[in-house]
Chain A
């Protein structure tokens, strides 16, 4: 009996020992791997330094604005047309943000679409020399929006009037494809008193541009805006920033432009995220139907291939849109929609039918004046050279 009892005790002890040590080892090992995932204090400052270093490669920080040093390019890409427009159609992007949103929202804009602007200024209520943001001397809140807008535009003209031709206002949850904005603007000159955006119709004669979808003023429009406040033609009428803007624009004779390529083409500026425009069926009682100046298309025809903006874009969607716009593509795909080049800009005919395309100096391949070899393949049929 005693022998049995001690044998049992041995076995139980064996089990207990195994389990205890297993748990002990698991904890230690787990903690070790867990600690390698968590950066400690020292590693955190290293990360911050790295971020500053990266920033300094892309931007020149001056007078609380970011001047683009490093217009993003892809390996193997022929972007001579985009570079041409970058030089000719200079855009100052100012982003309406606040001290609480710098890390949550504005930072992601700094990492993505704003890198395609010529100059970027982040407008806040508080000065922040590191980010950098401009302090407009207002408070934060919805009722401050028009005050911030007025001061932001005044600041832009005063400090950067000579460094840009067009002045874009965006929210910190707006995503803008700046290259496509240049394509729209290239058909106009900065001396025209005109502004573009997603046109809404109520409360004004010529309509006004949705604040969230972003709107862009020509230099002449901006000058008239500032002049309007000096002469008291324009005042702080309401805190509804986009409507107030539209009312002032109307008073100083700035035209509400039509950014669509043709009346039946997809729209460029969008007040919602792509998913909503492409897939949602907005209910007929939704305000959107009665606000839009031009007829709304639902489904794929909603949106231009060369869309300019989307709104209510959160941090991860910012990066996703950057990936979709500038990175992910279908190899060799010949887009259905071939946009016309802007007036006054010559682009070599890229259709390959006669083979007469010469490569630009930017591409990796040597210039071949004449015969381009491209093989056309249509799904479902045998590939044939057409």
Chain B
């Protein structure tokens, strides 16, 4: 009995030391917040400043305004038809071409039927379809059903970027060694990046159609891995002050965060003035955001932007 007791105590002591060692090693990656050093490993893409735009010559501006046209890939589901209807009636009208991609066909849902339930395979098929049907559009934006995007602000971000260079932009996140763009807050791909991606899709070793790993990687990470093989890396989209432009939360939830973290400067501290995406918005919230972005404004305040974007034809809520 005594020997068992002492074995027990010895075991306990060793177990405690073991646990302590593990947690000391593990404490360098705390679960609560990502350390600020992580942020600096991201590649950043910043919107051009006013001075940069002013320094461009006339022919350069003409060329840029012709190149910056966006093909929107919007993933929808027949289960939640109202998101398709809302996206169609709101922000997607500002895309140069907006195409909806659905997992299955349904009456009243005007979308490309991918006939596929797996998220990663759906994304692959949609991107391949987009590449084949892009015409002369050179930028691609991938959205989820609850994403709201302000396309003019996206165009501003990528204005001076060459789509024949590989770009993979959004809210960049890090998972171990892998840097990927968060799906929820929208993914931006240049023509060159998409071309390389479609090419690597053919390689079943590097970029399998259905994940072979024991555990399934999320589709956003799969995308990052495939792109990494082609030499394309994730970049974080930011405004001239370094604020993130792609948001994975809804605007009201970001405001509420601001109220508890930054009560004296809620609005300044919340989100960029030229934010590109918000996610998790309800259909009604999207209609209000449409009004808030494209209509509601204070009289007598003007911004003399170097580029003018006209409202789309035949629309009444913008």
Contacts and interface: CB of A to CB of B under 8 A. Distances in A.
A331 B5 contact: no
A207 to B, nearest CB: 25
A145 B8 CA distance: 75
20 contacts: A6-B3, A9-B4, A13-B9, A14-B11, A18-B15, A179-B298, A179-B299, A179-B300, A179-B301, A182-B300, A316-B255, A323-B292, A328-B271, A328-B292, A333-B311, A334-B308, A334-B311, A375-B65, A375-B307, A379-B309
Contacts of B255: 316, 319-320, 323
B101 to A, nearest CB: 19
Contacts of B295: 303, 305, 335-337
Interface stretch (B122-130, B210-218, B220-228, B280-288): B280-288
A70 to B, nearest CB: 13
Interface stretch (B139-147, B164-172, B229-237, B259-267): B259-267
A10 B9 CA distance: 7
B302 interface: yes
7 nearest CB pairs, A to B: A13-B11, A17-B15, A82-B300, A324-B292, A17-B12, A383-B65, A81-B300
B294 A377 contact: no
A22 interface: yes
A180 B65 contact: no
B29 interface: no
B8 A9 contact: yes
B300 A275 contact: no
Contacts of A286: none
Contacts of A85: 299-300
B10 A21 contact: no
B294 A335 contact: yes
Interface of A: 2, 5-22, 25, 33, 50-51, 54, 74, 76-85, 111-112, 116, 177-180, 182-183, 274-275, 278-279, 299-301, 303, 305-307, 315-317, 319-337, 339, 350, 352, 357, 359, 363-365, 372-380, 382-383, 385
A299 B50 CA distance: 36
B23 to A, nearest CB: 5
B299 A81 contact: yes
A16 B15 contact: yes
Given A274-B291, A316-B255, A334-B311, A383 B50 contact: no
A18 to B, nearest CB: 4
A306 B299 contact: yes
